[in-house]
Structure 1
């Protein structure tokens, strides 16, 4: 059996992370979740194989989504990244070749974005 692409989903809204994870799994992805940037950094530092990072920009704690993506790219320079945010006041710090999706979004939009990045 072919390995399913693994997506690290970083989102602090528990209900949203559950819905998104369920939709992604139904679409054939394996999902690893983190509720904070720090938790995501721990997963990345453990060298857990990740095929796509999907992160909210605004996260509790000291590490926001921009920082999670920067750390992820330091470890995996070609890792595809999808950011999601409900706020656009911040100056974007997107890593190259990444996508930004505005909230509210449908999980199907994330699946389509992942496929545009060549995942799944």
Structure 2
């Protein structure tokens, strides 16, 4: 163990890495209580996020997401499994600290008729 006197020293072992495992961060939950977080879902900190007590990982997410990041990017930045990140994000969303923007659904894609018109217009050039 580190012997620097830091407050974080009890949570890190030089040989083993973080002592607190992901299941401890999520209180044993392996999936979010509510919401769906695809890998490409964008996460953004709400402008008027209320002050609240957060775990260090949650505070880091709030800080990172001041600019939009995908769920996958948040996981990579925190070096945590995506399942753990999804649970942490669901807790932050329930607390009103973040908002998510889902990727467009297939119904939001252009219709075949629109694509044919676009192709005809391009050919006319």
Relative to the length of structure 1, the TM-score reads: 0.25
Task: Name the structure where helix makes up a greater proportion of residues.
Answer: 2
Relative contact order (alpha carbons < 8 A, sep ≥ 6): 1 or 2 greater? Answer: 2
Structure label with greater radius of gyration: 2
Task: Name the structure where strand makes up a greater proportion of residues.
Answer: 1
Relative to the length of structure 2, the TM-score reads: 0.25
